[in-house]
Structure 1
Amino acid sequence: MAFFANAAMADSFVIKDIRVEGLQRISAGAVFNVLPLQVGDEVNENILARSARILFKTGNFQDISLARDGDILVVQVSERPSIASIELDGNKSIETENLMQGLSQAGLSEGSVFQRVTLDRLKVELERQYIAQGRYGARVEPEVKPLPRNRVAINIKIKEGDVATISKVDIVGNTVFTDEELVENFELKESHMFSFFKGDDKYSREKLSGDLEKLSSFYQDRGYVNFRVESTQVSVTPDKSEVYITANISEGERFTVNEVKLTGDLKVPEADLRRLILLRSGQTFSRSLVTTSNELISKRLGNEGYTFANVNGVPSLSPAGDNTVDVTFYVDAGTRVYVRRINFLGNTKTRDEVLRREMRQMEGSWASGQLIENSKVRLERLGFFKGVTVETPRVPGEDDQVDVTYSVEEQPSGSIGASVGYQQGTGFVFGANLSQTNFLGTGNRVTIAANRSDIRDSISFSFLDPYYTIDGVSRGYSLFYQKTDISEDDVISNWASDRLGGNLTFGYPTSDISRLSFGIGFESVTVYGSRRSPLQVWELVGYDLYEANINGAFTQSEDFLNFPLTGSWSISTLNRGVFATRGSSHTVSLQITSPGSDLEYFKSSLQSQKYFPITQDWVLRLRSELGYLDAYGDDDKPPFYEHYYAGGFGSIRGYEDRSLGPREIQSAYDFGDPRAIGGNFLAEASAEFIFPMPFVKDSRSFRTLFFIDAGNVFDTHRKDEYGFELSEMRMSAGIALSWITGIGPLSFSLSKAFNDQPGDDVQSFQFSLGQPF
């Protein structure tokens, strides 16, 4: 800034007019709004100097001079150029969008006033950011190109360079634990065989800070209360390609717990809180146990409405000087908090009442952390949402009230439309369907389907209202009709059945996680046999095998009318309705034909699954299923068309759908190879290692896993040939992917059968639409 005045300006004068010269983009009005002078003011040298500084602070001018022309004040300015464009070149590790946002926050954006000092400061900061990533060779070279009309174009060229690799991590001062034990849980590793894949040998300042926190926790969890990191040195080789890290530590002495105290405003019985303290007298001190105890006590108070309780466990050295500490838990319960309002965000399709009926936390009652969390879990179990988050903001101006806000992200819950496709084992399929687990946002489940394939026509309708009553009693009913044609020689079955039936089911909640269901139905079945039918079919339909073969007739049939009664008990602690990651579910069911039915049989099953989180991203899922079918009363054998089948998705992957188990009994008149006809005893088990899908940021709609399947179907009425034996359990392993699409879950698997036997139909690649795993 320069300030010029003629000799007369040494004396004060009264301004009769103000003239601004040198403006290009900035209006004179903008200058007058800032200039603290106006016509009629008496000014002197000091006042004019102060006014010039005020103008300069706006940042719009790179030069200002004030002069006197008689009694006229002349303001001569030279504007700073404006930024016409900003271009970035060479950045890869930091996205352009994030860099542009940072530039804008620093005052560099298109249309703004250009200041060289801001650009220089930003250059230094960008290089620091790259150094923090371990890119010590990074260079930021800004180029400013003048343009007409007092504008500039900024081109920032970035040479990121490579991330320096870690050659050595040294811990100095450790005597109790070895370097290997201390760095085992570090995120930063010395270069090793798999570093090119894992990238854990790339230096990062943030990761080093995290590793030092882990080191501190490691010692303090083992009783070393006075442990500290004295200093850290990061050395870089001259070519800036390798990094050497040295951490100097002081271990201190190991301490045990002398006395555990609980003090403060407890609000609940002290005995209840003491049970939640994990530290005991005589035990080695552990910082993690103190932190966990703090959280447990806070949650316990939160369940009683003290949402903002503050609990702090503080260790203090025992005055006896015997390497013991007293741990005092200070409790400040605060004020009991009540829920004013429960809000829902993000449910554009699902009605509020569907979400509200899942609430266990009520408006007007005190805020219970457990009930709020239970409500969140129940929303996730619906299967309508990718994710659910909950917040409890305070009500402005109120110390004892909060609002509870659940934010949901909806996902596809069914499909509507017509379809033309191909299904393994059935051929081309033409159909129209509506399948919705959240029909029109009501939470009701509706399925209407009409399909036609090469061998089968079917139509079905089902409806389930999970809240038929306000208490959670459910009601469902269904109707179905199916007709199968086996007149062709190349069909996949040796028998066919036409079915017409329906059922009515009621479910009763016995707790938040368990339910009893009962149902009654009717089913009219007509069974046909083909020229290739096994003896079991001919025995059932009472048809002469010889005549069927000679005449080629397919009209012989037998009709059955049955009235099945069903009952089931289920319990589920799964955290999500689709793609769960923790919890378990178990279902026990029984179906038995009632008196008056043409056939007397019962069918029972047990289905179980449990998820075991291994890490934050890896989960182990174990699944098992047992099923048993048999006759009772005057019947010796159950109907074969109710048999269990194994193989394919949801069963033993790697084997064709419904291909495992007992084979047909053939006679001299049968044609072709014997085919699977199922059995009355099913045993299956699976182990799945679920891992995040690579390169997918939001994996809530995807599931990738490694699996091992085992199982088979057996016939206890043909024990000599197909009785249960562990050696007959088929096994397979592979990798699978499932994806929730707008038309339903789409699943693929690539597998290898381990112990397939002659006659087994193996299938390495399989797919399924509508059945997630």
Structure 2
Amino acid sequence: MNFLSNRFRLQHLFVFVATAMVSLSAWAVEPFKLKDIRVEGLQRVESGTVFASLPFRIGDFYNDESGAAAIRALFALGLFKDVRLDTQGDVLVVIVEERPSISQIQWVGLKEFDKDVLNKSLKEVGLSEGRPFDKALADKAEQELKRQYITRSLYGAEVQTTVTPVDRNRVNLTFTVTEGGPSKIKEIRINGNQSFSERTLKDQLNLDIGGWLSWYTKSDRYSRSKLNADLEILRSFYLARGFLEFRVDSTQVAISPDKQDISIVINVTEGDRFVVSNVKLEGNYLGKEDEFKAIVKIGIGQPFNAETVAETTKAFSDYFGKFGYAFARIDARPEIDRLNNRVSLVLVAEPSRRAYVRRINVTGNNRTRDEVIRREFRQLESAWYDGDKIKLSRDRVDRLGFFTEVNIETQEVPATNDQVDLIISVVEKPTGSVSAGAGFSSTEKVAFNFGIRQENAFGSGNYLATEINTSRFNRTIVISTTDPYFTEDGVSRTIDLFHRTSRPYLGDLNAYSLVSSGAGMRFGVPFSEVDRVFFGANLEQTSIRPGTNLPNAYVEYMQQFGYTSTSLPLTIGWARDGRDSALVPSKGILQRFNSDLSLAGDSRYIRTNYQIQHYTPLTKKFTLALNADIGYGQGLSNRPYPLFKNYFVGGLGSVRGFQQSSLGPSNSANTLFLGGARKVVFNAEVLAPFPGAGNDRTLRLFAFADAGRAFAESQKISLTDLRSSVGIGLSWLSPMGPLRFSYAFPVKTQDTDKIQRLQFQIGTSF
């Protein structure tokens, strides 16, 4: 907040009074030549400051006019509250009384605003510790603070300024604030509506009389800016439904005598409803009228809709941009037939001149390096303006997943008619998470765990993750790093190192365990703007250490192939990302295909996985997200599929409402979940903004339906065996990382299924 940024100065009327009251000896003197000048009364101000302000020097002639000018100049410094001139022969004596300096500024009772921000604002106007005290500035600051409290619906707030003298001509300045309770909206009335009910219109407004979430949304707090925004929403609501001549006649805001209750009355005139009778194109369309007609979104015979008109003009502007016309103007001129309530729209286009991009500027990236953003740009500097490339560039930057907002603005270059600058502004989000902890139990004793994951390590765009866990049941050391631009052409490189020891958490330290170690490297080669092919190799070794509770499937595997299996799987994959955002997508398709093929070593197998996610915007606020994830594993060379490569289904990330990894083959007692060589998972979500969060995409609600299961290699995949659930959840891009909470209602279950209705997770989208 910088509400004191405009400097203000009180015109010291008493300067003129002081000038008029100067002793007659200073005024009624005959001009004389100055032999000396003395200054008296200085405490902190340097004498040189006074001498530099005087309009005369030793040796000059002194008269009445030069004396008056000297007094005005010294008062103008703002350092003195009194200035007098005295003459002693041919010596001039300047007698000053300094203003007290501010020793300390204190705030009492401040809750709504941050005192450091207020102190910074005061400093910008000259009211800070060590500066001369100016009561006019202090009074102005007090009044401005009261006004700011009113904007936050705290009409009863009182601010009192106290000036306390201290030693050495200093003062302490104290602002005592009594904030009181906020004034709340108790009534909203809309008059003049006929086609829509008052309740329907109130539902469009952000201001309301309060509800169970008002403590968070503050929707019952009045401010003029909020009301103006709601009036625009109301106007857009009518214009989108054919009421071309709708207007807001007046608004009345009344506050109760105790300044606690606010009433709002909105008076409107709806006017008649108009239907679009025709759409005509006029102007210069570069000889591509048919192409422009194909992107018209205005429906003839439908009620006039200002939103579709705006979408059409924007589509026209974007299409002109495709050919380099950055300054194209498209005007929608309505021709109204009030007799028949018809309107004909004339779209007049003026492409203006073709332009090229002079410079691309990046703002808002406090942590991320410029090059990380610029290397995603397909629009180049000193190249012709291309609307399609600019949109593609914006989407590529958004798909990085480092930013909550990515916007591109076009600015004309002064004194030119064919150049533009592109301003890309981003809002960074936390891209890393750190976890550290220690635990103690009778079975595990002391266990430490530490993990760090950074998707944008040191602002370089590289991915870095480390995980360490010293639990007796799950010991892990994992290091993974990805350089998305290993080469300048965008070939990525990923290196993985891992060592894991896991045993079933049954409270038995003598239970069997799996120990796996390995390393791998893979590269990703971009084949198009949305397609990338991956290939690489891994070296893995997995050992089965016998113990209690060892499942029969593991016993049979050891008897046939031994305790230790070594494999050298080759990896090939493909990904196509056509989403508009990697963080919170609202449209587009993401596809992933990955296959591991091991033809050497003790384990011979093929493991293939395909996933597709489809995002469709239902409205501006609601998005439908569909996901399918299918995995298939098969043993090769007459060898069974290795059990330690099984897929697991159940819980967040697959089928919510069931215990994690529990949907699939298990031991006879149903206490150990073994996973399966095949998996089938389907998900559907409808995402909506959190009530009161506005356009904030980091906090959303969703309703979901899930189905899926894992199958053993010997089992036949049957959709009738899938488990399913429905439920609701909350998604939050928190500083700790993406958080997802869900509460599920299992629909199709079996008696042996492990139900877990409430679940939460940090990580995956589905």
Please name the residue that 1:26 is paired with: 45
Q: What are the Cα deviations for residues 564-613 of structure 1, in whole angstroms up to 9, with x where unaligned?
A: 6665442213455567676442224455676x999886544332334567
Please name the residue that 1:645 is paired with: 648
SS of the aligned residue for 1:725 comes to helix
Please name the residue that 2:204 is paired with: 185
Distance 1:272 1:426, change over 3 A: farther
SS of the aligned residue for 2:165 comes to strand
Q: What are the Cα deviations for residues 210-232 of structure 1, in whole angstroms up to 9, with x where unaligned?
A: 22222233333334444333332
Letter in 2 for 1:514: D
Q: What are the Cα deviations for residues 89-137 of structure 1, in whole angstroms up to 9, with x where unaligned?
A: 1222222233323333444222333333333333333322222332222
Is 1:511 equivalent to 2:528 in the alignment?
yes
**Separation in 1, partners of 2:123, 2:266:** 38
Distance 1:618 1:592, change over 3 A: same
TM-score using structure 1 length: 0.75
Is 1:358 equivalent to 2:390 in the alignment?
no
Q: What are the Cα deviations for residues 227-275 of structure 1, in whole angstroms up to 9, with x where unaligned?
A: 3333322112222211111223343444455665656676684554454
Of residues 608, 612, 618, the one that matches 1:608 is 612
Letter in 2 for 1:234: V
SS of the aligned residue for 1:124 comes to helix
Letter in 2 for 1:683: V
**Separation in 1, partners of 2:227, 2:50:** 51
CA contact (8 A) 1:15 1:73 kept: no
CA contact (8 A) 1:301 1:333 kept: no
Is 1:91 equivalent to 2:110 in the alignment?
yes
Of residues 222, 225, 228, the one that matches 1:203 is 222
**Separation in 1, partners of 2:93, 2:545:** 109
Of residues 235, 240, 249, the one that matches 2:259 is 240
Please name the residue that 2:720 is paired with: 725
Please name the residue that 1:547 is paired with: none
How far apart are 1:23 and its partner, in Å? 4.3
**Separation in 2, partners of 1:481, 1:576:** 34
Please name the residue that 2:664 is paired with: 661
SS of the aligned residue for 1:661 comes to coil
Is 1:377 equivalent to 2:395 in the alignment?
yes
| Larger Rg over CA atoms | 1
Of residues 101, 109, 113, the one that matches 2:132 is 113
Q: Identify the range of structure 1 (242-251 vs 436-445) with the bigger mean alpha-carbon deviation.
A: 436-445
Letter in 1 for 2:666: R
**Separation in 2, partners of 1:331, 1:626:** 52
Letter in 1 for 2:127: L
Q: What are the Cα deviations for residues 467-506 of structure 1, in whole angstroms up to 9, with x where unaligned?
A: 56655556768788889899x9947987x77878887766
CA contact (8 A) 2:530 2:578 kept: yes
Letter in 2 for 1:625: D
Please name the residue that 1:679 is paired with: 676
**Separation in 1, partners of 2:64, 2:580:** 76
CA contact (8 A) 2:56 2:66 kept: no
Please name the residue that 2:8 is paired with: none
Of residues 204, 207, 230, the one that matches 2:249 is 230
Q: What are the Cα deviations for residues 262-320 of structure 1, in whole angstroms up to 9, with x where unaligned?
A: 56676684554454554466654443344334433333344444445555545566799
Q: What are the Cα deviations for residues 517-572 of structure 1, in whole angstroms up to 9, with x where unaligned?
A: 456778788888878666655666667xxxxxxxxxxxx83888878666544221
How far apart are 1:324 and its partner, in Å? 3.7
CA contact (8 A) 1:707 1:736 kept: no
**Separation in 1, partners of 2:153, 2:439:** 53
Letter in 2 for 1:679: G
CA contact (8 A) 1:9 1:68 kept: no
**Separation in 1, partners of 2:430, 2:173:** 44
Of residues 711, 716, 740, the one that matches 1:714 is 711
Please name the residue that 2:151 is paired with: 132
Please name the residue that 1:628 is paired with: 632
Letter in 2 for 1:30: T
Distance 1:198 1:616, change over 3 A: farther
Letter in 2 for 1:215: L
**Separation in 2, partners of 1:604, 1:674:** 28
Q: Identify the range of structure 1 (214-223 vs 406-415) with the bigger mean alpha-carbon deviation.
A: 406-415
CA contact (8 A) 1:605 1:628 kept: yes
Number of residue pairs matched by the alignment: 743
Please name the residue that 1:585 is paired with: 590
Please name the residue that 1:368 is paired with: 386
CA contact (8 A) 2:499 2:515 kept: yes
How far apart are 1:724 and its partner, in Å? 4.5
Distance 1:749 1:282, change over 3 A: closer
SS of the aligned residue for 2:648 comes to coil
Q: Identify the range of structure 1 (114-123 vs 234-243) with the bigger mean alpha-carbon deviation.
A: 114-123
Letter in 2 for 1:628: Y
**Separation in 2, partners of 1:165, 1:449:** 50
How far apart are 1:187 and its partner, in Å? 1.6
Q: Identify the range of structure 1 (284-293 vs 576-585) with the bigger mean alpha-carbon deviation.
A: 576-585
Gaps of 5+ in 1: 544-555, 666-671
Q: Show the 5 A alignment for 1:518-557.
A: 557=562
Gaps of 5+ in 2: 1-16
How far apart are 1:143 and its partner, in Å? 1.8
**Separation in 1, partners of 2:29, 2:340:** 79
Q: Show the 5 A alignment for 1:282-297.
A: 283-297=302-316
CA contact (8 A) 2:705 2:725 kept: no
CA contact (8 A) 1:380 1:577 kept: yes
SS of the aligned residue for 1:184 comes to helix
**Separation in 1, partners of 2:528, 2:48:** 73
CA contact (8 A) 2:251 2:266 kept: yes
**Separation in 2, partners of 1:128, 1:706:** 43
How far apart are 1:336 and its partner, in Å? 0.6
Q: Identify the range of structure 1 (522-531 vs 112-121) with the bigger mean alpha-carbon deviation.
A: 522-531
Letter in 2 for 1:365: A
CA contact (8 A) 2:700 2:730 kept: no
Distance 1:88 1:273, change over 3 A: farther
Distance 1:367 1:9, change over 3 A: same
Q: Identify the range of structure 1 (234-243 vs 70-79) with the bigger mean alpha-carbon deviation.
A: 70-79
Please name the residue that 1:553 is paired with: none
TM-score using structure 2 length: 0.76
Q: Percent identity?
A: 32
SS of the aligned residue for 2:204 comes to coil
Letter in 2 for 1:647: G
How large is the RMSD of aligned CA atoms in angstroms? 5.5
Please name the residue that 2:577 is paired with: 572
Q: Show the 5 A alignment for 1:482-501.
A: 490=508
How far apart are 1:185 and its partner, in Å? 1.6
Please name the residue that 1:213 is paired with: 232
Is 1:155 equivalent to 2:174 in the alignment?
yes
